[in-house]
Amino acid sequence: MRRSRGKLCNFKRRDSGMPGSKFFSALALSAAALVLSSSVAGTEQVLSPAAQRGFTFVRVHCSHCHSIDKVSESPLSVAPPFRRLHERYPVESLQESLAEGIITGHPSMPEFKLDPGQVDDVISYLKSLER
């Protein structure tokens, strides 16, 4: 029996009968937590403040058509995922286009003209997808 806040409490102890079963249960639980935490940590990335602002911009303006992360497919199948842009050309080459206004050959893509700070932020985010 155990005394708790002035009252007597009767806790029954469960024992599986196996020596060290609590140890092995705790070990298994710890191992599962370690696996889960390492898999989550491997998928998340800490972004610089500029890349975070760039992510916010592309999430608001680009994610309706393009995949803006490292795994998902683009909602519009003909829109290239941003994680693959660096395979086509250096993303730094987009700086001028972003500053002067992106104009494409298809009418469904809106024209964007970003200020210099926004250009740097979007480029920082696109570069973070290369890692």
Distance (Å, whole) CA 116 – CA 9: 68
**pLDDT tens digits in sequence order for the chain, 131 residues long:** 555 455 554 444 454 455 555 655 554 555 544 444 433 334 457 899 999 999 999 999 999 999 999 999 999 998 999 999 999 889 998 888 888 877 665 667 777 778 999 999 999 999 999 98
pLDDT at 113: 79
What's the CA gap between 16 and 48, in Å, rounded?
Answer: 51
Q: Report the DSSP beta bridge partners of residue 107.
A: none
Contact 125, 58 (CB under 8 A): yes
Q: Where are the domains of the chain?
A: 49-128
**H or E stretch including 2?**
strand 2-4
Please name the fold of domain 49-128.
Answer: Cytochrome Bc1 Complex; Chain D, domain 2 (1.10.760)
Element (H or E) spanning 4, and its range? strand 2-4
What is this structure's pTM?
0.62
